[in-house]
Amino acid sequence: MIKDTNKGSILILSGPSGCGKSSLLKELYEQIDNYYFSISTTTRDIRDGEKHGVDYFFVSKEEFEQDIEDNNFLEYALVHGNYYGTSLKPINEALKKKMLVIFDIDIQGHELVRKKLDDLTTSVFITTPSLKELENRLNSRATDNKDVISNRIKNAKIEINSIDKYDYFIINDDLLIAAKELISIAIASQKKESLFSKDSIIKDWLN
CATH classification of 39-97 is 3.40.630.30, yes or no? no
Cα 173 from chain centre: 21
Task: Please tell me which residue, 199 or 187, carries the higher pLDDT value.
Answer: 187
Residue 79 CA to residue 71 CA, distance in Å, equals 19
- Each domain of the chain, given as residue ranges in start order, spans 1-34+99-207, 39-97
Phi, psi for 65 (deg, rounded to 5): -65, -30
Residue in 30, 42, 46 with CA at minimum distance from that of residue 73: 42
Q: What is the pTM of this model?
A: 0.85
What is the SS3 assignment for 71? Answer: coil
Whether residue 144 is predicted with pLDDT greater than 70 in this model: the reply is yes
- One of 3.40.50.720, 3.30.43.10, 3.30.70.260, 3.40.50.300 is the CATH number of 1-34+99-207, namely 3.40.50.300
What is the biggest distance separating any 2 CA atoms in the chain, rounded to whole angstroms?
65
pLDDT above 90: percentage of residues in the chain:
67
CB of 107 closer than 8 Å to CB of 12: no
Exposure class string for 79-99: b at 16+ Cβ within 10 A, else e? eeeebbbbbbebbeebbeeeb
pLDDT tens-digit readout, 88-116:
999 999 999 999 999 998 888 899 899 98
Residue in 190, 187, 184, 172 with CA at minimum distance from that of residue 24: 172
